[in-house]
Amino acid sequence: MAVARLVPMSRNLPKQARVDFIDQRLNELYPEPPVPLDHSNPYTLLVAVLLSAQCTDERVNRITPALFELADNPFDMAQHSAEAIRAIIKPCGLSPQKSKAIRRLSEILIEEHSGEVPADFESLERLPGVGHKTASVVMAQSFGVPSFPVDTHIHRLAQRWGLTRGRNVVDTERDLKKVFRRERWNDLHLQIIFYGREFCTARSCNGLVCEICTTCYPARKHPKKVNKP
């Protein structure tokens, strides 16, 4: 049974009411959020997420068909030079570092994991070019492990919605995990991203415009300042 939608009041909502409304509204808007990066297996997702650093998902999705035609598994990728990989991924930016990381992590997957992407944070985060956020995305979307990957967009919205005072994505991840149910983490990560792109962008909403901001903070009079990570 659907929960009745909250009606904006003259006073700002208490934290638990904000959490409940955000959880409900995002699930209404994006009931089955797709993974925005095109991929066919854990390895191609890992590479796509690595490429998405300081690059839009749209651009990554334009680049990866050619890359995965070259190689869509670590055995084939390791046979190509970093220069050959870089020639394809150059439009993504940071191509010298990313191409070397893709080739080397492919070698490590072969040497240490029989060519399989490991399903644990420690092993993933030891791979070149793979940080906690990238590992979290792979664990969540490829292996179904409850994770809450936080990027700058989620960090921004969580602050606008009063869910964290964190000064970095690590603090924000910790705070979001405290207030949302564990079984919702993987979907919420995607739902917040989609909402932020569609309704609560860095430029179109300053905490005073979109539905969630105005419902949670109807008495807010001034733009919400956000701590940059």
Query: What pLDDT was estimated at residue 166?
Result: 86
Q: Sign of dihedral through CA atoms 116, 88, 51, 195?
A: negative
Query: What pLDDT was estimated at residue 3?
Result: 44
Burial class (CB in 10 A: 0-12, 13-18, 19+), 35: middle
Query: What pLDDT was estimated at residue 227?
Result: 78
Angle at 114 between CA 111 and CA 120, to 5 degrees: 95
What's phi and psi for 201, nearest 5 deg?
-75, 170
Closest CA to 103 of 47, 59, 40, 45: 47
Would you give the end-to-end CA distance of the chain in angstroms? 38
CATH fold match for the domains 15-33+148-216 and 42-141: no
What is the full per-residue pLDDT of the chain (229 aa) written as tens digits?
344 455 445 689 999 999 999 999 999 999 999 999 999 999 999 999 999 998 999 999 999 999 999 999 999 999 999 999 999 999 998 999 999 999 999 999 999 999 999 999 999 999 999 999 999 999 999 999 999 999 888 999 999 999 999 889 999 999 999 999 999 999 999 999 999 999 999 888 999 999 999 999 999 999 888 877 6
Q: Where are the domains of the chain?
A: 15-33+148-216, 42-141
In this structure, are residues 205 and 160 in contact, taking their beta carbons and an 8 Å threshold? yes
Which CATH number describes the domain made up of 15-33+148-216? 1.10.1670.10
Which CATH number describes the domain made up of 42-141? 1.10.340.30
Query: What pLDDT was estimated at residue 1?
Result: 36
- Dihedral angle, C-alpha 152, 143, 56, 213, nearest 10 °: -40
**Model confidence pTM above 0.85:** yes
Residues with catalytic roles: 133, 151
